A and B are shown apart, each in its own frame.
Chain A
Amino acid sequence: MSQGQEGPRICVLGLGNLMRTDDAAGMLALRRLTGDSRFPRDVEVVEGETLGLDLLHDVYGVSHLLVLDAVDTGAAAGTLTRFQGQEVIDLPTSKSVHLLGLSDLIQVLRLMDAPPMEIVLLGVQPESTEWGTVLTAAVEAAQEGLVEAALVQLGDWRAILRDAALGAAGNSVRELVAT
């Protein structure tokens, strides 16, 4: 177990600029997700918006990190994408701690010996990142799918952790989950 983690903590992090149309997709999906009656209340919620290094405190020590964000893969607008583990870290990095990207944040957590054990990024292909507070039609239509995918991911993690806890008499939950 790395030094930052004392037990399982699931966190969902929304990223994006609320004033740049589809860039807000992750943030708006997060709000929709947390307003859903099926959203599990024991999951931590972080509205990350455009913050970089300032997010460190919120994600430090999290064992399962789910990120919602607009991700440009060149696919058709509104296409949902999923990245897991190393795939997230392999996303392009930035050059400054003032413009810290998601993969940099994970690298910093690694250097601090506190990386999340599981990380999943659920992305949606933006059509526009111009000024504006309304999503484009394709991205708006994809919001529901993004929320459903997030609920499935959170459900999977919680089931794994629950099974591990049930079968882990006397052992730490995290050690078992790690194996």
Chain B
Amino acid sequence: MFRGIELILRGRDPREAWIWAQRICGVCTTVHALASVRAVEDALGIEVPENARLVRNIIAGTQNVQDHIIHFYHLHALDWVDVTLALKADPAKTSQIAQSISDWPKSSTSYFKAIQDRVKALVSSGQLSLFSSGDWGHPAYILPPEVNLLAVAHYIEALDLQREFIRIHAVLGGKNPHPQSYLVGGMSSSMDGNEPDAVINDERISLMNKLVKNAQTFVQQVYIPDVLAIAGFYKDWFKYGAGIGNYMAYGDYTTGSQKDPAGFMFPRGIILGRDLSTVHPVDPTHISEYVTHSWYNYAEGDGVGIHPSKGQTNPEYSGPKPPFDFLKTDEKYSWVKSPRYDDTAMEVGPLARTLIAYASGKEQVKKIVDGVLTKLNVPATGLFSTLGRIAARAIEADIMVGELGGWVAQLDDNMAHGNLTMHNGKQWNPDNWPKSAQGFGFHEAPRGSLGHWIEIEDKKIANYQAVVPSTWNAGPRDAKGQRGAYEAALQGTPIADPERPLEVLRTVHSFDPCLACAVHVVQANGKAYGRKAMVI
């Protein structure tokens, strides 16, 4: 699937770019709107008020936590958890396990029995529905039935948690998905403690506080203990799926200027060759994209790398007529381009961010990471793995949900002190703009480093390029034949049954792939998806 949003944006008013760019993806809602307004603000030299930064942080941080929870329970858990085995569990034993790993109150025998009965009813109806995609009975599933039941119960609870928690987007952005309150220069959310019609007032602050608190309890009492429990049974997966070993983050989340990385909660940096002793700087001008193995062409030829600010989107499909069984990797074989930093492949995402924060000496991150490693009795090198990505995501959710509470409190405090400014309108009028301007907007999205590059000419968009996290991770080989993160991570993965390569899915899913915006999805029919058609 190729969307061509970058082409649609040309010739439009830069101030409306975010409305279009946000629609690049309906799964990673909001992240493209944020990167887009930041790109325009960077081009026009606009600093946004503190309240707008806080609102943006709360929207993005909520997305981060919700996305991580959905990923673990609803998109990835069933690679590790066999639903059909949960039906064989003794609910009393599940209750004992649950109470031994957490204080979470929903842990009685009768509770797990009721869950088991509901899943049984679903299975006996002959329609597995959401559970129909699993490779049930596959020998790579090794959890005891009781732990499977625990995970299935929390799968269902997580459905409930995520639907409540994302109400924060409806509060601050008017709707979900795709919040509508962005503005170049700030946000459009009105703020007044005593005004019942204001977007942010005392009532809304207490609602957000409640939702954040509930999410924090869930992360600490359910998500983290579940990751530890499941990882404890699959420790081999701290050895598999390492990948390229280079990690990059633009960094993000500050209450100060976006131009000052020193204030970022997720630090900016690069780790090369799994060497945690040095964090290298990131200079966004060193990024280039290759199309050597992608279904696009460059005017300069397909062997060169081009910086996204000069990026070209000229689709040219040359693969076999779908549906096909095989793609030749020495030719073009992907709709995803291949981004490189200093001509080197990078992995982005929660693991990259966690490693860079850890190596940068961020105390809070070090403490949580070391705690997890100690509990699992795994060395720090175990983080370079499939399970490392899963653990990093849970750790990040825990840190982020704590920060969310702080941002809501700061917003409340500003409101109490009469600081209600939400927008900087100084550069709103295009008559004040330079004839030409270039900007880079970035965001550490749930799946990793997201960049938008904009070129403004005569008040209109002359060029627009987005390099999304899944492009960094999923991109094909570059001109030198260097593999991207997915491809590299799959090398050396043991596969019990080549007809049912569940292990491959474990590693690919550990990246939380969002291929809607990486323009990569070829809709296969259900059974063939991700199985024999793997392109490795």
Contacts and interface: CB of A to CB of B under 8 A. Distances in A.
Contacts of B156: 111-112
A95 interface: yes
A130 B283 CA distance: 45
Given A57-B164, A95-B132, A103-B129, A111 B122 contact: yes
B130 A97 contact: yes
Given A97-B74, A98-B27, A112-B160, A107 B167 contact: no
Contact of B127 (A54, A57, A103): A103
B122 A110 contact: yes
B159 A112 contact: yes
B526 interface: yes
A22 interface: no
Contact of B129 (A54, A56, A57, A104): A104
Interface in B154-170: 156, 159-160, 163-164, 166-167
B177 A54 contact: yes
A43 interface: no
- Summarize A's interface: helix, strand, loop or mixed: helix
B159 A107 contact: no
B163 A57 contact: yes
Nearest to B118: A111
Contacts of A95: 132-133, 526, 529
Interface string B517-536: 00000000010010000000
B159 A56 contact: yes
B127 A89 contact: yes
Contacts of A93: 127-130, 132
A77 B166 CA distance: 39
Contact of A110 (B118, B163, B177): B118
Contacts of A90: 127
Interface in A102-149: 103-104, 107-108, 110-113
Interface string A44-56: 0000000101101
B187 to A, nearest CB: 22
A60 interface: yes
Contacts of A60: 160, 163
B229 interface: no
A46 B74 CA distance: 24
Interface in A63-115: 89-90, 93, 95-98, 100, 103-104, 107-108, 110-113
B494 to A, nearest CB: 26
Contact of B130 (A51, A89, A107): A107
B119 A111 contact: yes
Interface string B102-139: 00000000000010001101100101111011000000
Contacts of A110: 118, 121-122
B7 to A, nearest CB: 17
B164 A107 contact: no
A89 B130 CA distance: 13
Interface of A: 51, 53-54, 56-57, 60, 89-90, 93, 95-98, 100, 103-104, 107-108, 110-113
Given A95-B526, A97-B130, A111-B118, 10 more contacts: A56-B163, A57-B166, A93-B129, A103-B127, A107-B127, A108-B130, A111-B156, A112-B156, A113-B114, A113-B118
